[in-house]
Structure 1
Amino acid sequence: MSRRRLRPDELDLWQHVAKSADPLHKRPKPVERPEPTKPAFRQPEVKPQPLPAFDIGEMTPPHTQTHYFPKTTGQRLKAEPVRMDSKAFTRLKRGKLAPEARIDLHGMTLDQAHPALNRFIVTSHTRGMRLVLVITGKGAREDPYDPMPHRRGVLKRQVPMWMRQAPLSLMVLQVAEAHIRHGGAGAYYVYLRRER
């Protein structure tokens, strides 16, 4: 629908009608509000304190403190709580207690060593033995020309973990690194629970 322009006589009529009409929604006249007064209290201006002299990076720790060196297996075993009699543990650490049986895992792969260790611990436990010796060795020496450094002694790291897993965890009371006369860092004392 196109819009057409009003003729002058129609425009006069429309203005006459518009003057006589009352609007539907009357808007109230705006009320003049007084301007808000400023509070009498003024906060004092705080002058910023000058910064003390400093060097960039002076609070950072020395470079050597940021490195995380993982603990060795021997250090982790020393940090574990003592679950056996403390006097017997002291004698054990001094090499005064003689192991009742021993197993040598030298030259075995993980697949060979794990079932052999399980068999040995279960058999020793059923025979009523309390202290056995597990010889793992210290591991092969590192190759100085190897581009990727790796930790020595796969069996040395795995044996304590196997002792914490079922079924051995039910029989093993304490694992500790052996005294030098029984193999030192290349062997572990395994103190077994009493058979019930």
Structure 2
Amino acid sequence: MVDDNDDDAELFRSAVGPVRRIQAPAPPPTAPRPRPRAGMAERDDAAAREAFRHALDASLLEAGDALVYRSERLSPRAWQRLRRGEIAAQDELDLHGAGVREGEALLRAFIHDAHHRGLGCVRVIHGKGLHAGECVASSGVPVLKNLVDRLLRQRADVVAFHSAPASQGGTGAVLVLLAPPKRR
């Protein structure tokens, strides 16, 4: 018995002639690699936030206490000028009415932005915590004031800070000296 399929296949091959295999099409392009992130900086920032949340201890500031911090990088002359309020604030952030999480996010963004804009001195108004419900802990301590103190101490771009003179807000505001931005 003769198979018609064999005859058809033979007839087709003789009609087409010799064939060569074609190359497989190139695979579609892959998605571009993501831009590199500053992973260490992100982890350091997360670790600092976590340390801040767990660092509440007996050294909490009261409403009338001054915020004071000075890095070794700051000269005694510049420190005196900051304490006297002789350095003009180039920008200001008012945290009145902000909750703790919102205040923390606003302060981080404000300091980061001010540092990258090359500002030398900024003022942060945190209030004294005398008339606020959410801004005062059950122990009577001003929450935003302590938040500002602890957060500013952890930042590498903060050289020094001191409570503002009475004419600029007294112990309800703080003048912050920022390090100059690094040249790229």
Q: When the two structures are superposed, what TM-score results if normalisation uses the length of structure 1?
A: 0.54
Whether 1:188 aligns to 2:178 is no
CA contact (8 A) 1:141 1:152 kept: no
SS in structure 1 of the partner of residue 123 of structure 2:
strand
Of 132, 148, 166, 1:159 maps to 148
Q: C-alpha root-mean-square deviation of aligned residues, in Å?
A: 2.7
CA contact (8 A) 1:133 1:188 kept: yes
Which digits, 9 at most, give the CA deviation of each residue in 1:104-163, with x for residues without a partner? 0000001111111111101100110010000000013499xxxx9722321011111111
Shift of 1:76: 7.6
Partner of 2:164: 178
Whether 1:120 aligns to 2:110 is yes
Q: Give distance in 2, aligned partners of 1:70 and 1:114.
A: 19
CA contact (8 A) 2:60 2:146 kept: no
SS in structure 2 of the partner of residue 132 of structure 1:
strand
- Give the aligned residue type for 2:172: G
Partner of 1:111: 101
SS in structure 2 of the partner of residue 152 of structure 1:
coil
Cα distance change of structure 1 residues 72 and 116 upon mapping to structure 2, 3 Å threshold: closer
Q: When the two structures are superposed, what TM-score results if normalisation uses the length of structure 2?
A: 0.57
CA contact (8 A) 2:164 2:170 kept: yes
| Relative contact order higher in (CA < 8 Å, ≥ 6 apart) | 2
Aligned length, in residue pairs: 120
Q: Give distance in 2, aligned partners of 1:86 and 1:75.
A: 22
Larger radius of gyration: 1
**Larger helix percent:** 2
CA contact (8 A) 2:124 2:174 kept: yes
Query: Which structure 2 residue ranges, 5 or more long, are not aligned?
Result: 1-57
